[in-house]
Chain A
Amino acid sequence: MTNIRLPSILDPVAIIGKKFLDIIKLIGGVGLLLSDTFFWGIIAPLSGKFPDRKSIEKQLIDEGVNSVPIVGLLSFTVGLILAMQTSFNLEKLGAATYFPALVAVATVRELGPLISSIIISGRVGASIAAELGTMVVAEEIDALRSMSLHPVRFLVFPRVIALFIMLPCLAMLANVASIAGAFVFGASTLDMSFASFKQMAFEYMTDTDVWTGLLKAAVFSFLISGISCYNGLTVTGGAEGVGRATTRSVVFSIFAIIIADGIFTAVFYYLLKL
C-alpha cells in the first residue's frame, strides 16, 4: 500500500482533523452502545431474557453505596467553601446572612449534580473502563460471546442501570452535604441558628430546582457509564491500552458532563424559563 505523505505544513490540520474524527467515532460508538443497552434492558425482558439481578445488585453497591463517603465529604467541603465565598462577597452589600439561599439554590440546581457527577467520573468511570478493558485483554469478552452470552446484557446494562439509579441519589446526598457544610460555616462564624438557616435556605428554593438537578444527574449517568463502557470494550494494545482507555473515559466523561450541563442550563433557565 502506498503512503501519501502530506506537506508538513498541513500536519496541524491533519492532527485536528484526526481528533475531530475520533470524537465523532466516540459519539457514534457510545450512542450505538447505549441503544443496545436499552434493547437489553427494555425490549429483551419482554421475551424472557432478563438481565442478571446479582450483577445489578453488585454494581449498585460498588458504584453507589461505596461512593457515599467520598461524595459526602467532598460535597460538604464544597458547601463550606461556597458559603465562605458567598458570605464574604455578600458582606460588602450588607447581606452576609443571605448566603444560605444562594448556596442552597446554586447547590440543588447546579453544584450538587455537577460535583457528584465529576467525582463519579473519576471513581466509577475509571473503574468501569479499567475492568472492562482488562476483560478484553484477558479474552473474557470473547469467552462470553463464544458462550452466546451478550457482553452488553451481562456487563454493560448492569453498570448503566446501577449508575442511573444511584447518581441522582448521590446528587441528592451532595445537595444535603453541601447545604450542611454551609450551615456549619454559618453556625460557627455567624452564630446562625439552625431554624434561621433552614428558613433562609429553603425560602427561595422550588421543587423545579430540585428535579431539574436530579434530571441532569440521571442524564449525566448515561454519559459516564456509556463513555466508560465504550472505552473499556474497545481497548487495544494490552496494559498500555487499558491505561489509555481509563484516562480517556475520565477526560471525555467530564467534558461531556460539562457540555451537557451548559445545554441543560440554557434550555431549563433561558428557553423554558423554569
Chain B
Amino acid sequence: MIIPELGPPKENIIVKANNLVKEFEGRRVLDNVSFEVKKGEVLVIMGGSGCGKSTTLRILIGLEKADEGDVWLFNENITAYDDKQFDAIRKRFGVLFQSGALFNSMTVGENVSLPLHQHTELDENVIQIIMRMKLEMVGLTGFEHLKPAEISGGMKKRVGLARAIALDPELVFYDEPSAGLDPVMSAVIDELILDLKKKMNITSVVVTHHMDSAFKIADKMVMLYQGRVLAYGTPDEIRNSDDPVVQQFISGSADGPIPYRTSRDLYLQTLAGIAEERIDTR
C-alpha cells in the first residue's frame, strides 16, 4: 500500500489531499483521507455506498469544505479558498456529474458551448466549431440541436463529458461515470477517459464502484471504507491485497466482513426496543 507523504505536493503532482476530515451532524464521513495524483494519471476512488467517495469529490472541486486537512490543486492550497478565489482554479478543471447535469432549458450544443461563451472572448463562429469538435470527440456529431430530454442517459453522460472538456482542462473529475449505463455504453465511457488521457494528457480522478471499469482505466486506486483509506496502490497491488474487505469488494461477494445485514441477535433486540440500531462492522 502506498503511504502518501503529507505536506505540499512535489513537482508533477496535480491533486493532493492531506488528512481530510469531514463530519456531518456529528458523524465522521471522512477520517484522515490522503492521496495524490500525478499529471496524466487516472486515479480511481472506490468504495461502497456511503463510504465518503462523493464527499471526497465534492471537497476536491470546492462544493464542500473539509473540516480538517488540506487540498492542493495545481500547486495551490485551495482549502480555505472562497468562491471567488476558487473560480480561477475551476477554469482549469472539468467535472462530469453522475447524471450529466445538463441544463434542460438549453440544447446539447448550448450546453457544451456554455463555458466557452462565459469564459472566453472567442468569436461565435469559433465557439461553434469548438463545440462541434468536442461533440465529435465523444461520438455525438450532429446532436447539437437536440434537447437533453430527447437523448438517452448514455448520450447525456457523453454530452456532459464534452462540456467538461470544452475549455481543454488539464484535469477532469468523474462522479460515477458508469452509473445507470449498459455494459456497452460503460465501456464507451471508459474508452473516452483513456482516450483523453492518451491524446490530451488529461489527469483524471474517477469516483466509481464499478470494478470492471475501475481496473480498466486506473493507474492508481484508493479504496475508502467507512470514511478511511483502506487500500491505496496500483491496480495489481489492490488485486493482490490480503485485506478481506478489499477482496470482498473487488470480487463483489455478498459474504465477507462487509455485512449484508446486522446480526440476528441485534436485530431481535432492536425489534423489541432493547437496543438502538447500530451498524458496526468492525
Q: Which residues of A contact B (CB under 8 A)?
A: 1, 58, 135, 138-140, 142-143, 145-150
List B contacts of A145 (CB < 8 A): 62-63, 83
B45 within 8 A of A: no
The answer on a CB contact under 8 Å between A143 and B118 is: no
Q: Point out the residue from B25, B88, B101, B105 that lies within 8 Å of A143, measured CB to CB.
A: B101
A198 to B: closest C-beta gap in Å: 44
Question: Which residues on B sit within 8 Å (CB–CB) of A135?
Answer: 103
CA distance A206 to B83 in the complex (A): 50
**Are A139 and B98 in contact, with the CB atoms below 8 A?**
yes
Check A142–B90 contact: CB distance below 8 A: no
Q: Given A139-B98, A146-B97, A147-B95, 18 more contacts at CB 8 Å?
A: A1-B26, A58-B105, A138-B99, A138-B104, A140-B103, A142-B58, A143-B95, A143-B102, A143-B160, A146-B61, A146-B62, A146-B63, A146-B90, A147-B119, A148-B88, A148-B91, A148-B119, A150-B83
Contact A142 B103, CB 8 Å, known A147-B90, A147-B115, A148-B91: no
Residues of A close to B115: CB separation below 8 A = 147
CB distance from B182 to the nearest CB of A (A): 21
B58 proximity list for chain A (CB < 8 A): 142
Which chain A residues border B101 with CB–CB below 8 Å?
Answer: 138-140, 142-143
B137 at the interface (CB under 8 A from A): no
- Closest approach, in angstroms, between the C-beta of A205 and any C-beta of chain B? 42
Cβ–Cβ contact A146 & B87, under 8 A: no
How many residues does chain B have at the interface if contact means C-beta atoms less than 8 Å apart?
27
Complex Cα–Cα for A138 and B97 (A): 9
Q: Please give the distance in Å from B267's CB to the nearest CB on chain A.
A: 22
Q: Is the CB of A139 within 8 A of B99?
A: yes
Instruction: Decide if A142 touches B118 in the complex (CB within 8 Å).
Output: no
CA–CA, A146 and B94, complex, Å: 8
- Name the distance in Å between B124's Cβ and chain A's nearest Cβ: 13
**Min CB–CB distance B94 → chain A (angstroms):** 8
B102 partner residues in chain A, CB cutoff 8 A: 140, 143
B114 CB–A CB distance under 8 Å: yes
A140: chain B residues at CB < 8 Å are: 101-104
Complex: how many Å from CA A1 to CA B58? 26
Specify the chain B residue showing the minimal Cβ separation from A134: B104
Query: CB-CB < 8 A to A150: which residues of B?
Result: 83
4 A-B pairs with the lowest CB-CB distances in the bound complex, closest first: A143-B101, A148-B87, A139-B101, A148-B90
Which chain A residues border B103 with CB–CB below 8 Å? Answer: 135, 140, 143
Q: How far is the CB of A53 from chain B (nearest CB, A)?
A: 12
* B83 contact set on A, CB distance < 8 A: 145, 150
Q: How far is the CB of B139 from chain A (nearest CB, A)?
A: 21
A residues near B61, Cβ cutoff 8 Å: 146
- The answer to whether B118 and A149 touch across the interface, beta carbons within 8 angstroms, is yes
Question: Within the assembled complex, what's the spacing in Å between the Cα atoms of A135 and B101?
Answer: 8
A138 CB to nearest B CB, Å: 6
What are the residues of chain B within 8 A of A58 when measuring CB–CB?
105
> What's the minimum C-beta distance from A30 to chain B, rounded to whole angstroms?
20
Least CB distance, A206 to chain B, in whole angstroms: 44
Of chain A, the residue at the smallest CB distance from B63 is A142
Please report which residues of chain B, range 134-170, place their CB below 8 angstroms from some CB of chain A when the two chains form the complex.
Answer: 160
Given A1-B26, A140-B101: A147 in contact with B63 (beta carbons within 8 A): no
Hey, which chain B residues are within 8 Å of A138, CB to CB?
Answer: 99, 101, 104
Cα–Cα, bound, A145→B90 (Å):
9
- What B residues does A148 contact at CB under 8 A? 86-88, 90-91, 118-119
Residue of A nearest to B173 (CB): A146
Interface string of B260-276 (1 = CB under 8 A from A): 00000000000000000
- 9 A-B residue pairs with CB within 8 Å: A1-B25, A139-B98, A140-B101, A140-B103, A142-B101, A145-B83, A146-B62, A147-B90, A147-B95
B119: chain A residues within 8 A (beta carbon):
147-148
| A-side contacts of B63, CB under 8 Å | 142, 145-146
**Cβ proximity bits B61-74 to A, threshold 8 Å, 1 near / 0 not:** 11100000000000
CA distance A25 to B171 in the complex (A): 38
Nearest B residue to A1 via CB reads: B26
Q: How far is the CB of A80 from chain B (nearest CB, A)?
A: 38
- Chain A residue with minimal CB distance to B110? A54
- Min distance, Cβ B173 to any Cβ of chain A, angstroms: 8
Considering the complex, which residues of chain B in the window 25-83 have a beta carbon less than 8 Å from any beta carbon of chain A?
25-26, 58, 61-63, 83
Structural contact, B118 and A147, CB atoms closer than 8 A: yes
Chain B nearest Cβ from A143, distance in angstroms:
4
Nearest chain B CB to A147 CB, angstrom units: 5
Cβ < 8 Å to A, chain B residues 92-130: 94-95, 97-99, 101-105, 114-115, 118-119
Chain B residues whose CB sits within 8 angstroms of the CB of A139 once the complex forms: 97-99, 101
Give every chain A residue within 8 A of B95 (Cβ-Cβ): 143, 146-147
